[in-house]
Amino acid sequence: MEKSKILYAEDDKTIAFLVQDSLESYYDISCYPDGKSAMDAFNSENFDICLLDIMMPEMNGFELAEYIREKNSEIPIIFISAKALKEDRIKGLKIGADDYLVKPFSIEELILKIEVFLKRSKKTEPAPQKYKVGKYDFDPKNYTLQTPEHTITLTQREAELLFYFTSNKNTILRRQDILKAIWGDDDYFMGRSLDVFISRLRKIFSDENNIIIENIHGIGFRFSEK
């Protein structure tokens, strides 16, 4: 079976060697010492997932993630960084990353996160039907919102969250239930991640007056269409 291809950008040679040595038995992993060389590789090869450090020469991880998202809105992006501040994590998610892993981390945890995204990206499950969401046709399998005039391609997390909302329309959903359904956990950081992704969905539907993602104080959210 052909191995999944990983783009790994990391300027710390020791960490890069350890991660690459640990993962190369499972994946086709290519490591780049700075953001610029990783960007060049992204433009010339096809990858299945991106693992990005933040503090790198030439182009930092945030800049690289923004570039990758402009070119490809579907490929999973996981930040791996020593920057543990809440503000850095939230910034990474707002840029379009799907997850954020703080150094030091275990290889087992990294592999688990990689596998979760790769399995979802392969879309081996039967295709769910398309849904009407406001003026859009929502295709959860292909992560798209379409009108006759244009197409919006969602990130994997955005599509998963929107699918969960549309499957539970007009129902009050508890935060912990949403977190466990989408992230598999309900810790504090995942809760902040949920807020970021809800903000991203609200921005997408900002011109749809009939679509409301309502905060239910102390409980969670309700997705509704008037």
Cα–Cα distance list, 130 to 72, 140, 199, 200 (Å): 22, 7, 23, 21
pLDDT at residue 189, rounded to an integer: 60
pLDDT confidence tier of residue 17, bands split at 50, 70 and 90: very high
- Stated pTM of the model: 0.64
> Taking 90 as the threshold, does the pLDDT of residue 226 lie above it?
no
pLDDT at residue 116, rounded to an integer: 83
Tell me the average pLDDT of the chain.
88
Q: 3-state SS of 66-119?
A: HHHHHHCCCCCEEEEECCCCHHHHHHHHHHCCCEEEECCCCHHHHHHHHHHHHH
* C-alpha to C-alpha distance for 20 and 43, rounded to whole angstroms: 21
Taking a C-beta distance cutoff of 8 angstroms, is the pair 199, 205 a contact?
Answer: no
pLDDT at residue 225, rounded to an integer: 85
* C-alpha to C-alpha distance for 183 and 200, rounded to whole angstroms: 17
pLDDT at residue 125, rounded to an integer: 47
> Taking 60 as the threshold, does the pLDDT of residue 80 lie above it?
yes
How does pLDDT run across 97-151, given as a tens digit for each residue?
888 988 888 898 899 889 888 877 665 444 457 788 989 999 988 889 999 888 9
Q: List beta partners, residue 83.
A: none
pLDDT confidence tier of residue 186, bands split at 50, 70 and 90: low
Stronger pLDDT, 222 or 186, i.e. the higher one? 222
218: left (phi over 0), alpha (psi -120 to 50) or beta: left
* C-alpha to C-alpha distance for 182 and 184, rounded to whole angstroms: 6
Taking a C-beta distance cutoff of 8 angstroms, is the pair 90, 120 a contact?
Answer: no
pLDDT at residue 126, rounded to an integer: 44
Taking a C-beta distance cutoff of 8 angstroms, is the pair 73, 86 a contact?
Answer: no
pLDDT at residue 128, rounded to an integer: 56
Phi, psi of 192, rounded to the nearest 5 degrees: -70, -35
